[in-house]
Structures are given as C-alpha cells and as structure tokens.
C-alpha cells in the first residue's frame, strides 16, 4: 500500500448520523470509493471467516473490533481497488484504531468529515430502521416456509435490517461513541483537519436536515478540496 499513493477521507459521526447515506452521494459526485468499516466487518461474518463469530459478538455488544482485523480488511479493499481516492466510513473509532492505522499504512487522512447529529435524532433513525425489520418479521417467517432455498436468502437481505439496531445495543453504541470515538475527532480537530457538518438546525433538535440539505453542505466541503 505504501507504493500506491492514496487519498483518504475519514467519514465519522455517531451511529445513525448518516455516514453511509452521505458517502453514497459523495461517490456519485466526486469519484471516491466508499469503504464502510462496519460493512466490511459484516461481510467478514457472512463469509464464514475464522474471526466471524468474534466479530459478530462484538458488534452485537456495540464493542470495537480489534484494530488489526479491521485494518487488514481496509488495506485489502484499498489494494484490490483500482481507485486511489477512498472514503473510510466509521473508522477509526478509538485512539488505538487511529494510531495503528497511521503507523501500519503510513496514511494520514486528507481531512475528516464529521457528521454532528444530536443523539435523539440518531436514536430515532436507528429505531426507525429497526421498525421496518420488525414489520417484515412475520412475512420473513412466511417466506421461510414458502419459498425455495434459492429465493429465501435473496428476499431476506431486503427485510432483515441490522441486528445491532435494538435499543440495548444502540445505547451501548452511543456510549462507545462518546467515550472512545469522539476523542479521535477531537484529536483531528486539534490538527485542523475536521470539517464539521451540523445535521440539525441550531437549537431545533427536532428539525433534522434532509439528506439533500446535508449533502449541500458536504458538497461544499469536497468542492473546496477538489476545485
């Protein structure tokens, strides 16, 4: 990876702040490749890797998977890509993640896009995502009974949602975010690298901005970087 000159932007923010959603938009407009650390870890569970059970248990508990596991997945994804511009979403999540990533890869981020969202709004969104899952659950069971082996996994990926979107795990994810992830954002802020996007209109926690409104602000940051 040291031979391949890459540009990295870290996209950070609490659980449900909209990292994945905004990354999809950035990819469309600015030609980055999106690497979600959480998605890579979930793919690793699905692939039946030897670390799968350990990763699954940590995610269920909202804990941070050991750095070497996540960094290996990120490095592999960057090497396999022909692109040289990456959005790394949801990583680094603690000081150790950050320090090990920088020393192992020699990569420092261009900047950090920080999606700053009130907890109430993040919780609402994550529970909303879970409601869709619960609504589909009876159907899911019916599909299991009726459909063939071939169609079932295909349909399930539409209705399944995320296992960590339940109130117990969401609270644990918030706690880890406040205690371990915010200090990483503060570290980069002290180096002048953070570009903060406010996801709610000031003093109006109930008035969250739409995906489009948020992307207008995100677009301005990226346009400044790549005029």
Q: Which residues are annotated as a binding site for a ribonucleoside 5'-phosphate?
A: 42, 63-65, 90-93, 162, 173
Annotated binding site: 16-21, 42, 63-65, 90-93, 97, 129, 162, 173, 209
Q: How far is the CB of 68 from Mg ion (least distance, A)?
A: 22
Alpha-carbon span 57 to 124, nearest angstrom: 24
Which of 19, 34, 98, 195 is the binder for ligand UP5 (CB under 6 A)? 19
Instruction: Tell me if 209 contacts ligand UP5 by CB under 6 A.
Output: yes
Restricting to residues 149-188, name those near ligand UP5 by CB under 6 A: 164, 173
Tell me the Ramachandran region of residue 202: left when phi exceeds 0, alpha when psi lies from -120 to 50, beta otherwise.
Answer: beta
Which is closer to Mg ion, CB of 42 or CB of 209?
42
Annotated binding site for ATP: 16-21, 129, 209
Alpha-carbon span 12 to 90, nearest angstrom: 5
The interface partner of residue 13, options being Mg ion, ligand UP5, none and the CB cut-off 5 to 8 Å by kind, is: ligand UP5
Alpha-carbon span 9 to 83, nearest angstrom: 14
Which is closer to ligand UP5, CB of 85 or CB of 133?
133
The Cα-based distances of 63 to 23, 48, 109, 170 in angstroms read 23, 20, 24, 11
Look up residue 189 and give its two tokens: 């802020």
Which is closer to ligand UP5, CB of 111 or CB of 215?
215
From the list 105-113, 143-151, 184-192, 206-214, the region that binds ligand UP5 by CB under 6 A is 206-214
Kindly provide the residue ranges of all beta strands, DSSP E only, lying in the chain, ordered along the sequence: 7-13, 33-36, 85-89, 111-116, 194-198
Instruction: Tell me if 34 contacts ligand UP5 by CB under 6 A.
Output: no
Q: How far is the CB of 63 from ligand UP5 (least distance, A)?
A: 6
Restricting to residues 5-34, name those near Mg ion by CB under 5 A: 19-20
Question: What are residue 9's phi and psi, to 5 degrees?
Answer: -120, 125
Alpha-carbon span 23 to 41, nearest angstrom: 17
Under 8 Å between Cβ of 140 and 156: yes
For helices 95-105 and 182-190, the axis angle rounded to 10 degrees is 60
Contact residues for ligand UP5, defined by CB under 6 A: 13, 15-21, 36-38, 41, 58-59, 62-65, 70, 90-91, 93, 125, 129, 164, 173, 208-211, 214
Contact residues for Mg ion, defined by CB under 5 A: 19-20
């Amino acid at each position: 990876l040291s031979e391949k000159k890459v540009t990295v932007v870290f996209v950070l923010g609490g659980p449900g702040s909209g990292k994945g959603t905004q990354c999809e938009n950035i990819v469309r407009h600015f030609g980055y490749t999106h690497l979600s650390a959480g998605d890579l870890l979930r793919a690793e569970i699905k692939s039946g890797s030897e670390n799968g059970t350990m990763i699954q248990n940590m995610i269920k508990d909202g804990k941070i998977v050991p750095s070497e596991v996540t960094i290996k997945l990120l490095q592999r994804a960057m090497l396999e890509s022909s692109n040289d511009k990456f959005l790394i979403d949801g990583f680094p999540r603690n000081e150790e993640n950050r320090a090990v990533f920088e020393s192992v890869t020699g990569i420092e981020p261009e900047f950090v896009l920080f999606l700053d969202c009130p907890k109430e709004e993040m919780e609402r969104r994550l529970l909303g995502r879970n409601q869709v899952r619960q609504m589909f659950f009876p159907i899911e069971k019916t599909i299991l009974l009726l459909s063939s082996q071939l169609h079932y996994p295909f349909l399930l990926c539409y209705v399944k949602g995320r296992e960590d979107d339940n109130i117990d795990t969401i609270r644990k994810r918030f706690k880890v975010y406040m205690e371990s992830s915010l200090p990483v954002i503060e570290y980069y802020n002290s180096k002048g690298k953070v570009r903060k996007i406010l996801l709610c209109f000031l003093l109006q926690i109930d008035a969250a901005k739409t995906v489009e409104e948020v992307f207008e602000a995100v677009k301005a940051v990226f346009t400044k970087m790549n005029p």
